[in-house]
Amino acid sequence: MSTLAGSSHPTRPAVAWIGLGIMGSPMSENLIKAGYDVTGFTLEQDKLDRLAAAGGTAAGSIAEAVRDADVIITMVPASPQVEAISYGPDGILENARSGALLIDMSSITPQTSVDLAKAARDKGIRVLDAPVSGGEAGAIEAVLSIMVGGEQADFDSAKPILEALGKTIVLCGPHGSGQTVKAANQLIVAVNIQACAEAVVFLEKSGVDLKAALDVLNGGLAGSTVLTRKKDNFLQRDFKPGFRIDLHHKDMGIVTDAARNVGAALPVGAVVAQLVASLRAQGDGGLDHSALLRAVERLSGAQL
């Protein structure tokens, strides 16, 4: 059996990957490119076929995928899905070998991560919560920001794998800390997108050349990764999902609930959470979160 990443043994750890969506597919493929043997499972056959075409191995079940894995990585939409794949007779904890390292890269509640780590410890399985930021482009380019919660030794073991997926990789504290930082990240991103969307509508209604304006704004203090990544979405009104409104709605629920629990006021965040919820209620939940522009346009009387 291969050893965990970071060992002096030349063999890389065997990796199981559960969840091959917009983020999971390119991330798993980057691991394959880095020389890891990846066995994957997801519910959609076409995504299993994609993994196999990239050089991975498609499994028929979670149990089959994780049985011989040294490292198990999960990337699913929310806490209920993490719980569904982790617990029960067909889940990860009942079928992974003792000593395996489970890295959950989903964006979920901090408490879900804490509970999973406790349950896994009883099975001899180590856990890191390691949500990411950077969207589909960051996943494809392997430049994600990865915020990690867990034990230092487990983080050290996992770091070579994480370095194949991202560029900024930080241990933020004990179990659940990665999810707390990710919640803060989603707060900042949502507020930033909303501000950009309002600026776009203001600029266009003022008759300014939008491309020129966004270029110069992005070169100054108003510049941001959000504006760099989403500028073309705004210019072209291209809202093909890189990160869906549905998921950002879930994340805004996480951050507002977590903030309430610790007594932190989020006055601007609360407003943006409602704007995200409103956009979703209008049927735009499947669009990219840059579609917050559509909500501002509606409020401003634009014809969509």
Which of 47, 123, 159, 182 is flagged as catalytic?
A: 182
Instruction: Examine the residue annotation and report whether 123 is marked as an active-site residue of this protein.
Output: no
DSSP, residue by residue, 140-163: HHT-EEEEEES-HHHHHHHHHHHT
Instruction: Give the closest residue to 275 by CA, choosing from 288, 258, 294.
Output: 294
Measured in degrees and rounded to the nearest 5, phi and psi for residue 71 equal -130, 135
DSSP assignment letter at 105: -
End-to-end CA distance of the chain: 57
DSSP state of 290: G
H-run or E-run covering 244:
none
Rounded to an integer, what distance in angstroms lies between the CA atom of residue 260 and that of residue 257? 5
Q: What does residue 60 show for φ and ψ, rounded to 5 degrees?
A: -90, -5
Given a contact cutoff of 8 angstroms between Cβ atoms, the answer to whether 124 and 99 are in contact is yes
Taking a C-beta distance cutoff of 8 angstroms, is the pair 43, 69 a contact? no
Asked if residues 21 and 42 have their Cβ atoms less than 8 Å apart, the reply is yes
Active-site residue list: 182
